[in-house]
Each structure stands twice: as structure tokens, then as C-alpha cells.
Structure 1
Amino acid sequence: MDAQLIAFTGVAAGMVAMPGADFTVVVRNALVSRRAGIVCALGVAGGLLLHTALAVAGVAAVLAAVPALFRALQLMGGGYVLYLGARTLWSLRRPRVPAAEATGARRTGAVATGARRTGAVAAEATGTVSSAARPLRQGFVTNALNPKAPITFLSLLPQFVPAGSPALPRTLLLALIVVVLALLWFPAVALLVDRLGRWLREPRAARAVEGITGAALTLLGVLLLLEPLRAA
């Protein structure tokens, strides 16, 4: 592996791991279940695959050359992230579980876990995929509607193509590195959240984390919406 490839891997790892809407939406789904978190992470990786493919194809240059299209995509992305945040905050209005019920739920945690696993198997046996489709869609759309990503990759990838070497094979390799890093990082985040799930799913902790993630998504959505409006 040459020095440029090592340097790019470090830069790309920092970009992928940077907290943002992708990270928050994966955490939000991982709090629901391990499966939802991992599926959402795969959706985020799918969005990154789309962006890197666009960058390699040069389509991102069109976004840079057509400000109106760029702003429209910014507004769509910001609106979707804001929607996710608002829906998360709205869900906090549901009644809290009484302490007695929470204690009983903890005592029967093993039974509940077994029931969830049985339910998951039954759902798979009957062919229901809606539970997986939603987090996959959320992860993909959250990432795919970020118009900055393809432009970032378009400006970044050429910096790591050695002079005189064929551009297409090299940029394809760089794009593959980004996707692989996403496939490692976001599922790892989902698994970590699931591992801490017993504590995070306690009524008070769950509501606190849900409130934080909802507020973070809402703030990110507002900032994403304000940026193109200011530019206009």
C-alpha cells in the first residue's frame, strides 16, 4: 500500500467517523434493536456508495455548476433530517412506564428477550420485511440527500491520484475504501449501542437518549435548511 493510499484511508476514516446525521440516525435505530441499527448502518453505507459513484462518474460536477439544483437537494436533505428529529421528539409524548411495570419487565427480561427472538424468527418466516425496510430507508436517504458529500469526494479523490496513473481505476479503489470504512464503522456503532442497550433502554435513560438524538437531528435539520436559504 503506497503512502498516498494510507493517507487517504486516514482522511476518509475521519470523515466517516465524524458525528453527524448519519451517526445520530444509526444510534436512534440501534436503540430500537440491534437489527434495526445494523440495517440502518447498511443504508448509510449504501448512500456513501451512491455518492462515491457519482463522484467517480463526475456527476457531482453538475451539482457544483448548477446552484439551484444543489440548493434544492440541500433543502430536501435538511427537511428529511428535521422530520426524523421532530418525529423522535414527538414520540417522547407517549406515557412513561410505571415503576412497578418497569420492575416487572426487568424481572422477566429473559422471557421478553426470548419472545423478541421468537417474534423475529416468526416475522422472517412469514416474509415480513417492513421492519427492516424502514431503518434501511432512513439510513440511505439521510446520507443520499446530503449534496455536500459528492462534491467533497469530487474535490478529495483527485488529490490522491498519482500523476500519470489512470484516474478511473484509482478513484474506484478510493471509493471502495470509503464504503468499506462505512461498513466497518456504522455497524460497529450499532453493535456498541446494542451492547449498552440494557442500560440505554431503561425508561429514564431511554427517554434521555431519545430526547438527545431527537434534539440533535432537529438541530442538524434546521442548520441544513438555513444554509441554502442564507445562500439564496
Structure 2
Amino acid sequence: MHTVDHLESLCARAWPALTEVPLGNWSMRAADGFTGRANSTLTCGDPGMPIADALAAAEGFAREHGIKPTVHVVNGSSCEPAIRDAGWIVDLDHPGGAESLVMTGPLEKFADGEADSRDLPGWWELTAGSEVSAAQRHVLGTGEAVCFGSLSQDGTVVAAVRGAVVEDVLHVARLAVRPSHRRKGLARRLMGELAGWGLKQGATTCVLQVAEHNSAAIGLYTQLGCTEHHRYRYWVPAVS
């Protein structure tokens, strides 16, 4: 059973930012604004200084890298009250939603086949858009073991997902199906094939970070045997 802090550290390793600077056990991250996870300070563990000073350092790092000062805080963590007392608030305007679930489940429950892990141009177009930035290529393409899972029809990538194995965990992200091919079971099929790939890499558990408002994704992952492990929220200074 993974602890919350350990699982958060594995997720961070699976989603590498362009720049990562340790602050005690905290980690300040920046990636030109691509995703909240890669552009926030992960606040697990002891920053090695008073929380207010650590937040000031995180704010300075963010401004130095041209991103919005943001901290990634596990709900109910020991540092949460001190972050609130320092004048930070939950970022209700965060584009992906202020709060996310971290879900986990055993891969063997839904593994079926093995994903096509090739780095296809259509994969990038579906998961990152028509113009892919250097930050996107770094975050999505870097890792200890990365799979660009995809399904194609008539030469076109119609479903895609990104998987990365860290230790015994398969981190799943960017699951996407073209609108014209939805409700045909492609997401479930692709997840099964990605799980098969993950098992071959030595993973036993999958982990997903999904916004609380994404009920369709949460429903799919629940059907695959995943359950909520914990939640986290993004916090920002009340006065910028």
C-alpha cells in the first residue's frame, strides 16, 4: 500500500517538469504553463523551513519562471492549515478544476493485450494539439519508461493515452478519443492494452489524477476497479 506522500512523489516523477528545484522535501516545478502538475510546488513532506518562508520561495520561483504562483496540496495534509494561515486560498479558477482525485487500482483486473507504444504524429495531435511545444514534448515524452498508447483506424489515430511506469506504478494520463469514435469502447480497450504494457514493465498498480468534475473519466476508471486514494487541490496567494 503506497502512502499518500510516496504516491504523490511517484506521480511527480512520471510527469517531469522542465525545471524542478527541491525545497527540502517539497519540489518547485515549472514547464511553461503546461498543466498544473508541472507548474506548481508539490508540498509533500517538510520544506526544511517555516511554511510561510517556503511559500515565499515557491512564489519567487514561479515569478522567476513566468508562471502563476501555485502550490499542489493534498487535502487534509499537515501543512494545509499553515498554507491557509499564510494567506493562500484554493484556486477556484484553475483551468482544470481546483480539486482532483488520485485513483488507484490493480492492473491485472483489466489488462488485456499490450498497447502500441510507438511515438506517432497522430498521438501528439490528439493529446497535445496541432502545435506541440517544447514543454509538452518534455513533460509527455520524458520518463523512465513511457508508452504512447494509441488505437488507429484507416491510418488515423482515433484514441490515445500516455502511460509511464515508475517503480511498481503505471501512471495514466491524457486519455483521449476523437468525438467521432466515442461510445464504442475504445477508451476501455486502450486502457486494457496500456495495463498489459505496464505489467510487462513490472508495474502492478495504476494511478490516475483526474479532476473531480470529470465524471465520465471517473466512471470509466471505477468500472476498471480503481478507487479513490486521496485528493489534492491547487492553492494560490490571495493577493497576487
State TM-score, norm by structure 2. 0.28
Greater helix share, 1 or 2? 1
Greater strand share, 1 or 2? 2
Larger-Rg structure: 1
Larger relative contact order (Cα-Cα within 8 Å, sequence gap ≥ 6): 1
State TM-score, norm by structure 1. 0.29
